[in-house]
Amino acid sequence: MSPERFERIQLMLSQRQPDLTVCMEGVHKPHNLSAIIRTCDAVGVSEAHVVWADAQSKLSGGTAMGSQNWVQVKPHANIADAVATLKSQGMQVLATNLSETAVDFRSIDYTKPTAVLMGQEKDGISQEALALADQDIIVPMVGMVQSLNVSVASALIMYEAQRQREIAGMYQGPCRLSVEEQNRILFEGGHPIYTKACRRKGLAYPQINDEGQIVADEQWWFKVKHEPSAWPEK
């Protein structure tokens, strides 16, 4: 890893917001999924949550522009499990939904730990998810249509969160990610070839030093460079 790339990744890590996230319920169009992940990366969200619409749902690499390499996508079996996970982390859960109790998305305090639920393109957020959310929010509209594209709405909300957090100084270090998470991102982002080898061979990631270089013993280096059939027996 070059010093320049190491410095850039470190700067990115220092601005990550582990207590800000998006949860996508049933969003199934690849370009929407990927556009939301791209926005997450842009505003410093390190982890996004998803309840897949079906087994065929996936991210679109072209739309994501590689941002899926920097934002972990956490799948959940159902929306109840997803919201339970978010609330266990102390997050306020906001649902984008036009209702009598909905408030302007800009009136929310996003400096609090926050998760934003984004619903399926056609039908929106499910009734189950709405019942689990703490607050409904809306993007005010004065035209003839009543809703925005899900990825556009997500971007508006997340950038309002980014604006508030920037004013509050929440993008100024130190890094709030765990040491283990920082090491994972530095390794995967700085050493992609060795990352693929570790994944294929089931090897644990090594440590990354203060210069961005791999710190590992001779046994690890041997295993990462040779096929398992050549590994010495335990």
Over range 137-145, report the average pLDDT: 84
Q: What is the pLDDT of residues 164-196, one digit of tens each?
A: 999 999 999 789 999 999 999 999 999 999 999
Which residue type sits at 184?
A: R
Query: Positive or negative CA dihedral for 150, 181, 90, 77?
Result: positive
203 is in an annotated binding site: no
Domain spans of the chain, in order of start: 1-15+175-234, 17-167
H or E segment to which residue 86 belongs = helix 79-88
CA 85 to chain CA centroid, nearest Å: 14
Residue 80 has a pLDDT of 94
Fold classification of 17-167 (topology level): Alpha/beta knot (3.40.1280)
96 among annotated binding-site residues: yes
Structure confidence by residue, pLDDT tens digits, 13-37: 999 999 999 999 888 788 888 899 9
| Residue 20 assigned as binding residue | no
Q: Is this structure's pTM higher than 0.75?
A: yes
Largest CA distance in the chain: 70
